[in-house]
Amino acid sequence: MHRHDHHQVVLPKCGMLDLEISQRGGLVAQGVEAFIVAGQTHAFSAKYGNSFVVADLPVDRTMTPRHVFERFQMSPFFAIGPEAQG
């Protein structure tokens, strides 16, 4: 378990990544990405051959995605189209 002061987008290239983000579990795999809000506790596990793109994003103090996720109880896991895969 860890956390950091920047947001992260986790995109699949191949394989699966098991993620727990603020006590919500899910998989990043073909067709599914994850968004980790700055300060959220998270952990990950991956087995076998896999590859992912992790983009660190600066925190914009005028936007607070953490409050949006918490208020609307949104999942940090999102469906993505083929143009964002691989």
What's the mean per-residue pLDDT of the chain?
A: 85
DSSP state at residue 82: G
Question: What pLDDT score was predicted for residue 44?
Answer: 94
Which residues are within 8 A (CB) of 8 and not within 5 positions of it... i.e. 6 or more apart?
A: 34, 35, 36, 54, 55, 56, 57
pLDDT at 78: 87
In a domain, 1, yes or no: no
Note whether residue 80 is domain-resident: yes
Give the gyration radius of the chain's Cα atoms. Answer: 13
Residue 66 lies in a domain: no
**pLDDT on residue 51:** 92
Q: Is the pTM of this model over 0.85?
A: no
Residue 31 belongs to some domain of the structure: yes
Residues 6+ apart with CB under 8 A from 15: 29, 46, 48, 49, 50, 51, 52
User: CA 10 to CA 21: how far, in whole Å?
Assistant: 12
Q: What gap in Å lies between CA 42 and CA 66, rounded to an integer?
A: 14
pLDDT at 37: 87
Residue 63: inside a domain, yes or no?
no
Q: Residue 19 belongs to what domain range? A: 7-57+73-84
Residue 64, domain member (yes or no): no
Q: How many residues would you count in the chain? A: 86
For the chain, how many structural domains are there in total?
1
- Does the pLDDT at position 72 exceed 60? no
The tens digit of pLDDT for each residue in 29-68 reads 999 999 998 888 999 998 888 999 999 988 876 666 666 6
